[in-house]
Amino acid sequence: MLQFGSQGPYEWLSTDNQRLDLLKLCPEIVTGKYVAITSIDSSVLVPNETEKAAGWENRGKIAYSPKIERVEDIPRDGWDEWYVFPNPNDLGTSYLGENIFEVPHKPGHLRVFVNFCFALHLPEMDSLAALFWPQLDWIRPESYLADNDSLTFVTANKTLFATVRGAVEEFTAPRLS
């Protein structure tokens, strides 16, 4: 199932298609940009020596990339959450693993949503969405991705959203044999 919508300057889509690798389908989401990883396999990404040598670093339990040249340069493991920016950015401190409803509701205090099976199209996620959208307004990323039981993609880049939506619709369209 593919769902989509908008909130303020952001457009979003969500799908439960587990075969979809959004970055292979649309590498322009991250290439030439900077990624902040707030969750990888439901945990904190601590860059290994190879990643550190390539320019990855960890601050406040958030891993920050160098400028992404290839999708393969990004560590991925499922249950990942990323914020994508055209320029380097500092998000503050992640509160991964803590009660999301008790994290201070202000800039610099980052809630991590992916581990709650967060998907914007699910009505039962409304209480999380009420925390998510203000946080997105503070952070102001170009894009946000969460990969759990659903894949959620959010972006303020209208052209990028149209490209991604078209590619996902084509990928998820029923095939006639």
Note whether 24 and 176 are within 8 A (CB). no
Task: Tell whether the model's pLDDT for residue 176 goes beyond 80.
Answer: no
Look at residue 38 in the predicted model and tell me its pLDDT.
96
Give per-residue pLDDT as tens, 141-162: 999 999 998 999 999 999 999 9
Residue 13 near residue 2 (C-beta atoms within 8 A): yes
**Is residue 23's pLDDT more than 70?**
yes
Residues ≥6 apart with Cβ < 8 Å to 140: 156
As a whole number of angstroms, the longest Cα–Cα distance in the chain is 53
Q: What is the pLDDT of residue 172?
A: 86
- In this prediction, residue 173 has a pLDDT band, given cuts at 50, 70 and 90, of confident
Percent with pLDDT over 90 in the chain: 78
Buried b (16+ CB within 10 A) or exposed e, 142-173: bbbbbbbebbbbbbbbeebbebbbeebeebee
